[in-house]
Amino acid sequence: MSASLIITLKTLFERDLNKLKAEIESYQDERNIWRTEKGIANSAGNLCLHLIGNLNSYIGAEIGKTGYVRNRAGEFALKDIPRTELIKQIDDSIGVVSEALDRLTEKNIDDEYPMLVFEKKTTYVFFLVHLTTHLAYHLGQINYHRRLIDVA
């Protein structure tokens, strides 16, 4: 495994977290960030909190040793957090992810990820690729949410 993979992962996380920030900033009516409608289970705000919690837990706390403690239930229960606070949390997460990934090397990226998340243990590289696709999946949901809910 080469160092270029670590650089690629950092680049993808930063790109998509910046896209997440742009999506949240693009809501014309800030209240719509928290709206749901029939057939839409999660608001963009809750998906944003979920992504922040996910990355700060699996990358920040586990790899970066930040001490972050996740409140997964709160990610879906909290409502009406101001847009400015969501943006701040996204910006903070960009830094946390970057700093944590700086701890990985060509030698340890293929090591076993320390947490059991799936049915069996995985490597850092497998789990980090999974996290990039998880981020992209929910980013797409937020984009659709904005275009369906936040219409003028």
Per-residue pLDDT of the chain (152 residues; tens, 9 = 90+): 467 999 999 999 999 999 999 999 999 999 999 999 998 999 999 999 999 999 999 999 999 999 999 999 999 999 999 999 999 999 999 999 999 999 999 889 999 999 989 999 999 999 999 999 999 999 999 999 999 999 86
- The residue behind tokens 């837990």 is 57
Q: Where are the alpha helices (DSSP H) in 3-105?
A: 3-26, 44-55, 72-77, 83-101
Contact 113, 127 (CB under 8 A): yes
CA dist., res. 61 & res. 55, Å (int): 9
Contact 14, 91 (CB under 8 A): no
CA dist., res. 1 & res. 95, Å (int): 24
Distance of CA 84 to the CA centre of its chain: 17
- 3 Cβ contact partners less than 8 Å away, ≥ 6 residues apart: 105, 106
Residue 28: φ, ψ to 5°: -70, -40
